[in-house]
Amino acid sequence: MADELERPGGEPVEHEAEPHLPSPTIWPFAFAAGIALLLVGLIINWVLAAVGAAIALVFAFLWIREATREVRRRPVQAAPAEPVSELAAEEEEEEPERYPRSVFLEMSTLGVGALIGGIVTLPALGFMIAPAFVDNQGFDEVDLGPLENFPENQFVIATFFSKTDEGSVGRRTAFIRNNGTQNEVPSFTIISNRCAHLGCPTQPQGLPGTAKKITAANREVSITPVASVSGFQCPCHGGAYDAEGNRTAGPPVRALDRYQYLVRDGDLVLAAPYSVGKVTGEGAKAQIEAYELADPGQHVDGPEQILYPPKFWNSDG
Amino acid sequence: MPKSARRKQLEALVMAPLNWLEERSGLVGATKYFLFRKVPAETNWFHTLGSATLTAFLVQAVTGVILAMYYKPSPEEAYGSIQHITNDLTLGWLVRGMHRWGASVFIILLFLHMGRVFLFGAYKYPRELNWLIGVILLTMALGEGLTGYLLPWDETAYWATVVAININANAPIVGPFLGDFLRGGAEIGEETLARFYSLHMLVIPGGLFALIGLHLYLVIRLGVTEPPWTRAAAGYEFVEDGRGPTRKGLVEPRPRGNGSIGTPTRTEAEV
């Protein structure tokens, strides 16, 4: 048993004699059932979710109480051992008196170290996570060429590059329909192809014609007319939309995003995209519930919108 | 058989540098302790799954370092550099293939190892902490899979990452921030690629190395569990490990091997 002495920080023997095992308890199962009910409720019904949350909370409390019983009881058991605690109290009192300077030096070393560490670390950390808190949905206007390329009351698929310096990654697609004029102002329906579920590219349900390549303002734009479009569908998870971009089936939580637009020197120009909750009506007379652009899958309307808070800072402002 | 003079001379030649190292660092003793520690009598092939996973990770680390010498993490060059590695470089196809398929092997072995630990009840007292570390290791390994998938920069990589980031962006409250953090902005682009590259080959592997070290430390400190079908694990048979009370497997387990560096064992005596 010579090595007994050499053990660096070995466990005391009493530990080995009496291992601490948690007593049998039913609470984790009830807690898990509550969580399961909560998750099912989130899909089916808010009331069910609330009941599940309540069950989970109650049994989590009971479980924690059960699991910590031994820990919480310990001080009561330790109380009878008076001499030991008195000794400890004396030592605690004497310690700062005996080594005031060394304690001060120790603390100040730790403090200065933490300060230096913080000065070095925090800016680097901020640099890393800053993009997450800045609203930087910057969008360069895209010239799509003369209006003649967009026949009235027919959808065309326009493919263009939102950024010219990143290769194919900047490629975007919009479904554009010329609605004629409303109050003598040209009206367009310009729907983004980004699915409002998880961002896959949706396809128009219709008969595509032949693609035409044009160059407008030094940008290549491909324009493909599509006849009799009944709606849009996503190949990834089966999201389906009608011709105005309203969700008709599948997992998407809102309508398809749209682009703002303007007409400049006879050219159709795309401006920043925005998110859409719902569209009522059709074509030039459509009423669009517009919201700030959100990532796919995020609710922009209804009670769920509180789950997706807006950004703190705006990089434009 | 008595040792010949020549053999003694050879032994002295080998031992001299080792003794020099041992005297100054204790590393030889530590290595011996690591390699020749006691294990239960009834271990079997399932106990090798942890080492297999470690080996798979080391293969990923080595092939990844080699690939990083040729890969260019920019939108214009990424896809081309991968094609260059696969088609032009000597044995580039092999190294990339090892990394690409080894990633799946790593994840599969992780799950098999986890299943072994679960079914053997090896996550129970006193090894709960090691199970928790293992769970973190699993999520980090999956993070490696996610970040590595974007790097080939082809259509599959792009759209898989679009969907994966948008799933993250759907998390309540933190979602919008998490999505923009992963993308490095509002859209997937060069920042995303650089970010994923950095996470894939610096941040997550660093964490993996550190936690694997901790994982192994706890394995050495706490020892290996008997399979549940053994008499010792069932509590029928007491195991004498030379120190103090008997060990009764899963019925009344207690920590083993706490800080007993230098304890002579049978295997060590044989060496």
Residues 188-227 of B with CB under 8 A from A: 188-191
Q: Are residues A183 and A306 both part of a single domain?
A: yes
Are A292 and A194 members of one domain?
A: yes
Specify if A109 maps to a domain.
no
**pLDDT at residue B120 tops 60:** yes
The residue-averaged pLDDT of A8-33 equals 65
Contact A7 B260 (CB under 8 A): yes
B187/A198 Cβ within 8 A:
no
Please tell me whether residues A169 and A298 are part of one structural domain.
yes
With respect to residue A276, please indicate whether it lies within any of the assigned structural domains. Answer: yes
A13: which chain B residues are within 8 Å (Cβ-Cβ)? 244
pLDDT (average), residues B243-267: 42
| CA angle in degrees (0–180, nearest 5) for B262-B266-B267 | 85
Domain shared by A165 and A263, yes or no: yes
- CATH number, domain at A61? 1.10.287
Question: Does some domain include residue A83?
Answer: no
Instruction: Decide if A264 is inside a domain.
Output: yes
B262 closest CB neighbour out of A6, A129, A296:
A6
The pLDDT of residue A277 is 92
What is the distance, to the nearest Å, from the Cα of residue A104 to the centroid of all Cα atoms in its chain?
46
Helices (runs of H) and strands (runs of E) counted in chain A: 7, 14
> For residue A137, what pLDDT is reported?
64
If you search the block for the tokens 């680097």, which residue do you land on?
A124
CB-CB under 8 Å, B262 with A296: no
At residue B224, the pLDDT reads 86
Classify residue A124: in a domain, yes or no: no
Kindly state whether residue A8 falls inside one of the protein's structural domains: no
Does the pTM of the predicted model rise above 0.95?
no
Domains in chain B (CATH in brackets) are 49-224 (1.20.810.10)
**pLDDT, tens digit, for every residue of A233-242?**
999 999 999 9
User: Residue A36 falls within a domain, yes or no?
Assistant: yes
Closest partner residue to A298 among B176, B191, B244, by Cβ? B176
Question: How sure is the predictor about A166, in pLDDT bands with cuts at 50, 70 and 90?
Answer: confident
pLDDT digit string (tens) for B37-61? 888 878 889 999 999 999 999 999 9
Give B256 to chain A, closest Cα distance, Å. Answer: 9
- Are residues A295 and B166, on separate chains, in Cβ contact within 8 Å? yes
Q: What pLDDT, on a 0 to 100 scale, did the predictor assign at position B186? A: 82
**In chain A, which residues have their Cβ closer than 8 Å to the Cβ of B254?**
15-16, 19
The beta-carbon neighbor of B176 closest among A9, A170, A308 is A308
Identify which has the larger pLDDT, A21 or B132: B132
Give the residue-averaged pLDDT of B6-14. Answer: 91
pLDDT of residue A235: 92
Question: From CA B258, how far away is CA A10, in angstroms rounded?
Answer: 6
Chain A closest-CA separation from residue B52 CA (Å):
31
Q: Which domain holds residue A46?
A: 22-76
Separation in Å, CA of B271 to nearest CA in chain A: 20
What is the C-alpha to C-alpha distance for residues B169 and B256, in angstroms, rounded to an integer?
A: 45
Q: Do A133 and B158 touch (CB under 8 A)?
A: no
Written as six digits, the tokens of B70 are 């040729």
Asked if residue A263 and residue A147 are part of one domain, the reply reads: yes
Residue A120 placed within a domain: no
- The number of domains in chain A is 2
What are A7's two structure tokens?
């053990």
